[in-house]
């Protein structure tokens, strides 16, 4: 059985830094698995390198939910949450499911693929619909933003 993740925090001025270790299972499924063996290749148009494993996808969702749970008790009502990169796409959705109402922003530091490429990913539409939980989403280029908007439209997301 894996040990529970250890939470460490340090406050410098008015900022508290919190780190959280992952179990080997979580690291393998969430980080090495779905994040870097599935999403990274697909988002870089390298579908020939992508693999899909349901347990890794479940681990990806599980770790995002666990991170949201660990964050919740640390939040103040006026805190703004900034999330960075593809490892945390479902994070805002997990926060909203826990009742977190703080503003949450997301920035993607890798390309966002055209919807035709993204759609090879099983469950792509659920992942994209979950992104609507973010208050603002940033991408590297206008092409990436256009691809994201197209994917959201195909997934049935209304981003007014």
Q: What is the pLDDT of residues 55-111, one digit of tens each?
A: 999 999 999 999 999 999 999 999 999 999 999 999 999 999 999 999 999 999 999
- The arithmetic mean of pLDDT across residues 11-22, rounded, is 89
In the numeric block, which tokens belong to residue 20?
């959280």
Judged against a pLDDT cut of 90, whether residue 159 lies above it is answered with no
Instruction: Report the distance separating Cα 97 and Cα 84, nearest Å.
Output: 19
User: Higher-confidence residue: 49 or 7?
Assistant: 49
Under 8 Å between Cβ of 140 and 84: no
77, 101, 103, 136, 141 from 60: Cα distances, Å: 27, 22, 23, 22, 26
Judged against a pLDDT cut of 50, whether residue 1 lies above it is answered with no
Q: What is the mean pLDDT of the chain?
A: 94
């Amino acid at each position: 059985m894996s040990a529970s993740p250890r939470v460490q925090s340090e406050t410098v001025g008015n900022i508290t830094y919190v780190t959280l270790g992952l179990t080997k299972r979580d690291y393998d499924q969430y980080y090495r698995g779905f994040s870097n063996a599935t999403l990274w290749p697909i988002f870089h148009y390298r579908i020939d390198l992508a693999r899909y494993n349901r347990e890794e996808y479940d681990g990806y969702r599980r770790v995002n939910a666990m991170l949201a749970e660990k964050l919740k008790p640390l939040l103040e009502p006026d805190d703004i949450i900034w999330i960075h990169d593809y490892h945390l796409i479902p994070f805002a959705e997990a926060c909203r499911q826990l009742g977190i109402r703080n503003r949450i922003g997301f920035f993607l530091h890798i390309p966002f693929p055209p919807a035709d490429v993204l759609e090879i990913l099983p469950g792509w539409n659920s992942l994209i619909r979950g992104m609507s939980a973010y208050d603002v989403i940033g991408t590297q280029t206008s092409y990436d933003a256009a691809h994201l908007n197209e994917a959201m439209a195909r997934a049935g997301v209304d981003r007014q």
